[in-house]
Amino acid sequence: MATQDGSLPSVAILTINYNSRPYIEGFLASLQAVAYPNRRLVVVDNGSDDGSPEEISRRFPQAVLMRNEENLGITGGHNVGIRYCLEHPFDYILFLNNDTVVSHDFLDRLVESADERTMAAPKTYLYGRPGLLDDTVGDFDWWRGVWRGWLYGKPEPPGFERQREVSMASLCCLLVPVAVFHDIGLMDERFFMYYDDFDFVARAKAAGYRLRLNPAAVIQHHKAASSGGVESPFKVYYATRNRLYLMRKHSSCPRFALFLAYFLATRVGYCVAYLVRRRGRQLRAMLLGIADFCRGRLGRTHELAYFR
């Protein structure tokens, strides 16, 4: 969507980097091929020591690279980048994971679907698994705290190619008008990572913003690359703790009580499954996530190395 003077809207592509050497080259190469001209790469590095920031500077010398001395997580890193973007004349901020590979026209398609009151999300495939979707967009069940009609690892359902409004999207890739941040503020750093995107989108929608899926915008995603994999103890811990925090934050007391009863009952099954599969580290991480939520221990509590 063009601005009032007919020019293309300016887009800050905001990505968080943390020891991303295994997949950063593919990400940067795909960005170099992006057709949309009025864009700027803004990278917030969370204390990487693997040479990935230097690789970013080499491949994208025009990029803005801000380096934190420590790992501030997704939320803290995003807030550093958002503050920078709000100080400069951007029309949109594109949240984009650096474990993605994007198509050359994905940003054109997203900008076409967005406006000053509309966020736009792409269709996301799992990297290396042609035709299978990642769970980055759709409808969210606020009774159970999960996706409704879970798409992860599945082919596209009928009608998925149609542009439409949806209720939820992750920040794996999401184009957001800057007015959102003036209206609702920054990311909630108590999440650190995982479920922070659901909180952000819920707050934006509560402020009157729309969310559209444009399946013509296509990217691929290395799922959970920065956290050791989809079943890593690190992810299990933060996803468990933060799902509880998300639901408490956005639910009334009676509704949260119903959710909590459901959640704890289903964790019994997870305990049994982890024991049968000899996944003791995952079991410990899940129980620690529940305990830390109950103790009010939020934000950055444990690093990836803690669970190894």
Where a domain ends, among 199, 227, 255? Answer: 227
Domain that holds residue 220: 11-227
Instruction: Specify the pLDDT at position 48.
Output: 95
Per residue of the chain (308 residues), give pLDDT as tens.
556 555 899 999 999 999 999 999 999 999 999 999 999 999 999 999 999 999 999 999 999 999 999 999 999 999 999 999 999 999 999 999 999 999 999 999 999 999 999 999 999 999 999 899 999 999 999 999 999 988 999 999 998 999 999 999 999 999 999 999 999 999 999 999 999 999 999 999 999 999 999 999 999 999 866 655 668 999 999 999 999 999 999 999 999 999 999 999 999 999 999 999 999 999 999 999 999 999 999 999 987 777 76
Q: Mark whether 218 and 238 lie in a shared domain.
A: no
Among 194, 209, 227, where does a domain finish? Answer: 227
Of the residues 212, 227, 242, the one at which a domain ends? 227
The span from the CA of 299 to the CA of 192, in Å, is: 5
Helices (H) and strands (E) in the chain, counts: 9, 12
What span, in angstroms and rounded, lies between the C-alpha atoms of 194 and 204? Answer: 17
In a domain, 98, yes or no: yes
Decide: helix, strand or coil at residue 194. Answer: coil
CB 106, CB 26: distance < 8 Å: no
Question: Residues 175, 269: one domain?
Answer: no
Q: What is the pLDDT of residue 245?
A: 98
Q: Are residue 77 and residue 124 in the same domain, yes or no?
A: yes
Output the six-digit token pair for 186.
């920054």
Q: Cα 37–77–116 angle (5° rounding)?
A: 45
Nearest in space to 90 (alpha carbons), one of 205, 203, 7, 214: 7
Each as own residue / partner, the long-range contacts of residues 34-37 (CB below 8 Å, 24 or more positions apart, any chain) are 34/102, 34/104, 34/105, 34/106, 34/107, 35/104, 35/105, 35/107, 35/108, 36/8, 36/11, 36/105, 36/107, 36/108, 36/111, 37/8
Domain membership of residue 3 (yes or no) is no
Number of domains in the chain: 2
Backbone angles phi, psi at 39, to 5 degrees: -140, 160
- Residue 11: how many other CB atoms lie within 10 Å: 24
Residue 4 resides in a domain:
no
Is 82 within 8 Å of 171 (Cβ atoms)? no
Same domain, 148 and 276: no
Name the one residue in this structure whose structure tokens are 């190619």. Answer: 161
**Other beta carbons within 10 Å of 260:** 14
For residue 253, what are the contacts with CB-CB under 8 A and spacing of at least 6?
Answer: none
